Amino acid sequence: MNTLTQKLVPSSAPWQQEILKHLNQVIRGFDHAPDKEKRKKIEKAISLIQYLIHPSPQWEILLSSLENIPLLTPKWRKIFKKKGIFTLEDLLYFLPTHYEDHRHFKYIKDIQPNQTVVVRGKIIVSGVLPVKQGRRKLYKVVISDGTGQLAGVWFNYQLKYMQAEFKPGREVTFSGLVRHYGWEKVIHHPDVSWDREIKLEIVPVYPEIDGIYPKQTRNLMQRIILKYVHFLGCPLPLSLRQRYKLSPLWEAVFHLHHPPANVSVRELNQDTSPYHRTLKFIDFFCLELGLAIKRKAYSQKQGISLKPSYLYIEPFLKSLPFILTNGQKRVFEEIKQNMASSRPMHRLLQGDVGSGKTILALLATLIAIESGYQVAIMAPTEILAEQHFENAQRLLKNLPIKLALLTSQLKSKEKQAIYEGILKGRYQLVIGTHALIQEGVEFQRLGLVIIDEQHRFGVAQRATLVAKGVTPDVLVMTATPIPRTLAMTLYGDLDISILDEMPPGRKPVETMHFWEKDREQVYRFLEEKLREGVQVYIVYPLIEESEILELKAATTMYETLKKRFSQYKLALLHGRMKAEEKQEIMTLFRTGSIDILVATTVIEVGVDVPQASVMVIEHAERFGLAQLHQLRGRVGRGTDQAYCLLLTPEKITSLAKQRLKAIIETNDGFKIAEADLRLRGPGEILGTKQAGFPELRFADMIKDIEILKQAREAAFHIIATDPELQSSEYKYLASYLRHYWGEKLKLGMVG
Ligand code: ADP
Ligand code: MG
């Protein structure tokens, strides 16, 4: 029996050994027991073995508060709560930050400064030093291992004890941090062991805690782990653990606190040990399972089948002054097929700034309208909504299509009229801002929802708009592209179209950095360009907390610039202006009546004026990388060589420098997104919080992309074969999933 369980649990942890002991007791005397008792014994044995192989997660215990853990003193409870640790589960995941290798005695000659080592040697001299530290003299013990000498030094000691124990000639083991003082190697207050059989091991080092010796934390954590770790159970079924070579969760956590002697310390310290891999896999796996479930649920809904008749599409395509790029044709095909299916479309269109997503949005719009449905396009800002509206008006002017613009700026009377038109089905296309998701807005037959710059909206907002139709098709667009593999895995519940080809004739924008002291040089460059008839953007950062102050800066600067460029027409554009004012200025700029547009970041997204080919960005150090790229994307849309001049004060942070370097080096939005991911970390950029994803506790989307791919593959495979996780194999998996996703899994829409 022992060998059987040994086979089942090859690397048994102490608590498992404890169970093995039970098991042995249970089956002792089995041969001579009466039948009834035999059966009892067998049942008991089976349940113990099951537990050994796959303990179930015990949520009531895991989620109980620190007060229910008798091993913790009130002082420890306070310490942990300060660290954000509130439950037993949190505590089990209080992991060492690094590991020290104490598996071998170190030769004294090989010790590097500030290394933590274990050394065994013979005592050469021992005694009180004539040197005082404070009121006391030091006690020093020098040992030798034949390769060199090492001293242990004590500030606090009992003289009698020291003299009795540290007799020259005796063998002793010292361990601790070695400092070099000139040629002398010293450990202050070494850990001492006389026993030759000292346990050589990998020692976990926990985050430092004020007023607590590292050893105390270590000892406490060891006791906690031994007593409780198995309550974690494991969400992964055996088949999966075997396929991906993973340990059970409880075992992984156990070994992270208590590494077995044969594991690589380097891997432990780089977070790449098999145990780290298990934790990361589970992180991703739960995320991807949730996405797979949502996708499955969505794809099983009955949607509307929208098939183009080309009644409008054909004349529309003919009226365009250009032909579609191959990328646009491909994506149009993808959208068309998706919309024709009776399953609802749920598609993300990723394309760099200026790649021509708008045309695709309009083509999708026409498919829906040809089929007799209404379309809603939602944009994050008024300027953008207005621009989409103007664009659509211009491009669709020869078609019998009625469209409306809905923003919060409208007067209540106008609003009511539009509401009524939407409800009665008079408007086929409604373009707007958040105003679209107001309660009063009701559609007669909403068949397609398009959301531009999707990362600007929360899940709930998107869901609200979608709910105004009956499972309409959904197309979300983003100009913040992320690397393909990441997009595939991250947006596991969306189909993805990627527009990776720019319209022909685009030249990369030439980007340069100027210090504030060289401002005059920038102005001279502008003058030269203005003389050639080029239009110019000058952009100011507007940071919300100090909006008024910043606005003043933009306004003051505007006055200065008016004087400097007195022979040209300037205009100021900012978010606090009335909608009509903004619209008027944009129209004047588009038609060439304004030469210089001084603007805050209201122009960041989507504004499209091809003949404006020079942009100056003031305080470029204050912008994020994605924002800089978006801003720069406003130029380089025509045939002229475009320029982007970044102005900054002399003093900027190194992070800002790295951002500027990245933006100067490339025009490729995908590369910039990668740099951004590197510089900022994924959480913020991917908007995972906003998208309603559960938090990743150990895994990193970028560094651990290989594990992410495996976890995604496994998750989608499982949901394809057992969408409700009904197999008994997945019993604990389902319970983990509920734990991690909670309510979030219920939201039908993701983005
Ligand atoms: P974005 O992807 O940033 O939304 P837009 O849809 O605004 O890009 O397109 C940018 C510019 O490229 C627009 O002026 C648009 O008219 C133009 N454009 C789009 N598709 C093509 C094409 N196939 N050939 C030439 N120009 C195009
Ligand atoms: Mg756009």
Cα radius of gyration (the chain): 34
pLDDT for 602 equals 67
The predicted-structure confidence for 332-389, as pLDDT tens digits, reads as follows 999 999 999 988 998 999 988 788 999 999 999 999 999 999 999 999 888 788 888 9
Lowest mean pLDDT among 45-49, 68-72, 541-545: 541-545
- Segment 216-232 mean pLDDT: 90
Q: How far apart are alpha carbons 395 and 684 in whole angstroms?
A: 36
Phi, psi of 402 (to 5 degrees): -100, 130
Strand (E) or helix (H) holding 101: strand 98-102
Q: Residue 18: pLDDT above 70? A: no
Q: Residue 123: pLDDT above 70? A: yes
Q: Is 479 in the pocket of ligand 1 (CB under 6 A)?
A: yes
Q: Residue 456: pLDDT above 80? A: no
Confidence of residue 294 (pLDDT cuts 50, 70, 90): confident
The CATH number given to 337-499 is 3.40.50.300
Mutate to test the pocket of ligand 1, among 394, 480, 611, 637 (most ligand atoms within 8 A of CB): 637
pLDDT for 703 equals 83
Q: Is 356 in the pocket of ligand 1 (CB under 6 A)?
A: yes
Tell me how far CA of residue 637 lies from CA of 599, 612, 633, in angstroms: 18, 8, 8
pLDDT for 552 equals 65
Are 173 and 198 contacting, i.e. CB atoms less than 8 angstroms apart? yes
Per DSSP, the chain holds a count of helices (H) and strands (E) of: 28, 21
Q: Residue 439: pLDDT above 60? A: yes
Q: For helices 274-299 and 731-741, what crossing angle results, to 10°?
A: 80
The two tokens of residue 672 are 């910039």
Q: Is 357 in the pocket of ligand 1 (CB under 6 A)?
A: yes
Q: Residue 637: pLDDT above 80? A: no
Q: Where are the domains of the chain?
A: 2-53, 104-199, 337-499, 510-666
Name the residue at shortest CA distance from atom 5 of ligand 1: 356
Q: Residue 308: pLDDT above 90? A: yes
Report CA(374)–ligand 2 centroid distance (Å): 21
Name the residue at shortest CA distance from atom 23 of ligand 1: 324
* Better-scored residue on pLDDT, 580 or 431: 431
Long-range CB pairs of 685-689 (<8 Å, 24+ gap) are 685/480, 685/482, 685/626, 686/482, 686/486, 686/490, 687/455, 688/490
Q: How far apart are alpha carbons 667 and 672 in whole angstroms?
A: 8
**DSSP bridge pairs for 150:** 143
Tell me how far CA of residue 120 lies from CA of 162, 175, 192, in angstroms: 18, 9, 10
Lowest mean pLDDT among 307-321, 396-410, 418-432, 678-692: 678-692
Report CA(323)–ligand 1 centroid distance (Å): 11
pLDDT for 66 equals 95
| E runs forming strands in 494-546 | 495-499, 510-515, 535-539
Lowest mean pLDDT among 1-5, 255-259, 496-500, 627-631: 1-5
Q: Residue 481: pLDDT above 80? A: no
- Residue 184: CB atoms within 10 A of its CB come to 12
Confidence of residue 236 (pLDDT cuts 50, 70, 90): very high
Mutate to test the pocket of ligand 1, among 325, 358, 386, 640 (most ligand atoms within 8 A of CB): 358
pLDDT over 70, % of the chain: 89
- Segment 262-289 mean pLDDT: 93
Q: Is 481 in the pocket of ligand 1 (CB under 6 A)?
A: no
Closest CA relative to residue 637, chosen from 530, 498, 479, 504: 504
Confidence of residue 48 (pLDDT cuts 50, 70, 90): low
Report CA(357)–ligand 2 centroid distance (Å): 6
Lowest mean pLDDT among 53-62, 232-241, 652-661, 675-684: 675-684
Secondary structure of residue 431 in the 3-state scheme: strand
pLDDT over 90, % of the chain: 46
Mean residue pLDDT of the chain comes to 86
Q: How far apart are alpha carbons 663 and 640 in whole angstroms?
A: 20
Confidence of residue 37 (pLDDT cuts 50, 70, 90): confident
pLDDT for 553 equals 72
The predicted-structure confidence for 147-193, as pLDDT tens digits, reads as follows 999 999 998 889 999 999 999 999 999 988 899 998 899 999 898 88
Q: Is 317 in the pocket of ligand 1 (CB under 6 A)?
A: no
Are 603 and 594 contacting, i.e. CB atoms less than 8 angstroms apart? no
- Segment 47-66 mean pLDDT: 79
**DSSP bridge pairs for 100:** 203
pLDDT for 751 equals 31
Fold classification of 104-199 is: OB fold (Dihydrolipoamide Acetyltransferase, E2P) (2.40.50)
Tell me how far CA of residue 286 lies from CA of 273, 701, 708, in angstroms: 20, 14, 11
The predicted-structure confidence for 97-110, as pLDDT tens digits, reads as follows 989 888 888 899 99
Fold classification of 510-666 is: Rossmann fold (3.40.50)
- Segment 482-486 mean pLDDT: 71
Tell me how far CA of residue 47 lies from CA of 19, 22, 29, 40, 735, in angstroms: 11, 11, 19, 11, 20
pLDDT for 290 equals 86
* For ion ligand 2, residues whose CB falls within 5 Å: 606
Lowest mean pLDDT among 140-144, 411-415, 498-502: 498-502
Report CA(79)–ligand 1 centroid distance (Å): 57
Domain 510-666 in the same topology as domain 337-499: yes
Are 123 and 172 contacting, i.e. CB atoms less than 8 angstroms apart? yes
The predicted-structure confidence for 519-562, as pLDDT tens digits, reads as follows 999 999 999 999 999 999 999 876 544 556 666 677 888 889 99
Q: How far apart are alpha carbons 492 and 287 in whole angstroms?
A: 9
pLDDT for 128 equals 92
Exposure pattern of 139-151 as b/e (b: 16+ CB <10 Å)? bbbbbebeebbbb
Closest CA relative to residue 147, chosen from 195, 93, 191, 185: 185
- Segment 629-651 mean pLDDT: 89
The two tokens of residue 18 are 């404890």
